């Protein structure tokens, strides 16, 4: 698991006014907690956007605060619903040599045979929960789906995992399945509906005349 460095500063004042001022100055308010630490901090917004904005929950980040250094995971990121900008981040401090629970994304590799035959690929789950040491957290789990035909599926139990990583997600859950393409019914055009309606009206008028 790759670890990268991020510098944080303490937040001495915590209220709405100071938080807004902090964001206007180009910093993101954050909280650092876990492993016996609880600190209100802030980080540089440009530094985050440049190197860490796509950091997933299983990416170990080195966080430097004053003279202390922590290994952290991003537990939560709050974004503005309009601009999409990061409003707040939760950093969870972890300890080397101590196992933790986290989620790891699943990447599908290859083009299934069933897709070539006209089937549809459905990915049921995109990540699984694991327990392991921080240094053993995988960046992702790769699954080869190239041999899957229509009707085939793969489950959590089929994911190749290192011996030092324990899967907590139900191993019977389906990860991916190749299904038959559903036939699309052609909608009846308005012109056809009008013709049918005119015929029906015409038949009715003839019966009345008799």
Write the CB contacts of 119 (distance below 8 Å, at least 6 apart in sequence): 112, 149, 150, 178, 179, 180, 181
Calpha distance 51→98 (Å, rounded): 27
Q: Which residues pair with 174 in a beta bridge?
A: 155
CA distance between the termini of the chain: 88
Q: Which residues of 121-139 are buried (b: 16+ CB within 10 A; e: fewer)?
A: eeeeeebbebebbbeebbe
Give the pLDDT of residue 196. 53
Give the pLDDT of residue 45. 92
Structural domains of the chain ordered from first start: 3-95 (2.40.240.10), 101-179 (2.170.120.20)
Contact between 127 and 57 (Cβ < 8 Å): no
Q: Is the pTM of this model over 0.75?
A: no
Looking at beta carbons, which pairs linking 21-28 to residues 24 or more positions away fall under 8 Å?
A: 23/87, 28/86, 28/87, 28/88, 28/89
Write the CB contacts of 109 (distance below 8 Å, at least 6 apart in sequence): 142, 143, 144, 145, 146
Q: What is the pLDDT along the chain (210 residues), one digit of tens a residue?
A: 555 689 999 998 777 788 888 999 999 999 999 988 999 999 999 998 887 776 667 788 899 999 899 999 998 889 888 888 889 999 999 988 899 999 999 999 999 999 998 999 999 999 999 999 988 999 899 999 999 999 999 999 999 999 999 999 999 999 999 998 875 555 655 555 555 555 555 555 455 544
Give the pLDDT of residue 84. 82
């Amino acid at each position: 698991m790759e670890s990268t460095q991020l510098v944080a500063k303490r937040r001495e004042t915590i209220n709405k006014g100071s938080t807004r001022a902090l964001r206007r100055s180009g910093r993101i308010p954050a909280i650092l907690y876990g492993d016996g630490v609880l600190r209100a901090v802030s980080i540089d917004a440009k530094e985050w956007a440049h190197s860490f904005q796509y950091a997933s929950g299983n990416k170990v980040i080195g966080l430097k605060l004053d003279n202390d250094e922590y290994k952290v995971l991003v537990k939560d990121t709050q974004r503005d619903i309009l601009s999409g900008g990061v409003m707040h981040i939760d950093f969870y401090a972890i300890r080397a040599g101590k196992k933790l629970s986290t989620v790891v994304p699943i990447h599908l590799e290859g083009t299934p045979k069933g897709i070539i035959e006209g089937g549809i690929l459905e990915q049921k789950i995109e990540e699984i929960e694991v327990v392991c040491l921080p240094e053993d957290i995988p960046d992702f789990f790769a699954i080869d789906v190239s041999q899957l035909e229509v009707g085939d599926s793969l489950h959590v139990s089929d994911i190749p995992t290192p011996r030092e990583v324990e899967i907590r997600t139900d191993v019977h859950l389906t990860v991916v399945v190749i299904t038959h393409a559903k036939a699309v019914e052609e909608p009846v055009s308005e012109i056809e509906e009008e013709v049918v309606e005119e015929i029906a009206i015409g038949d009715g008028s003839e019966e009345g005349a008799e």
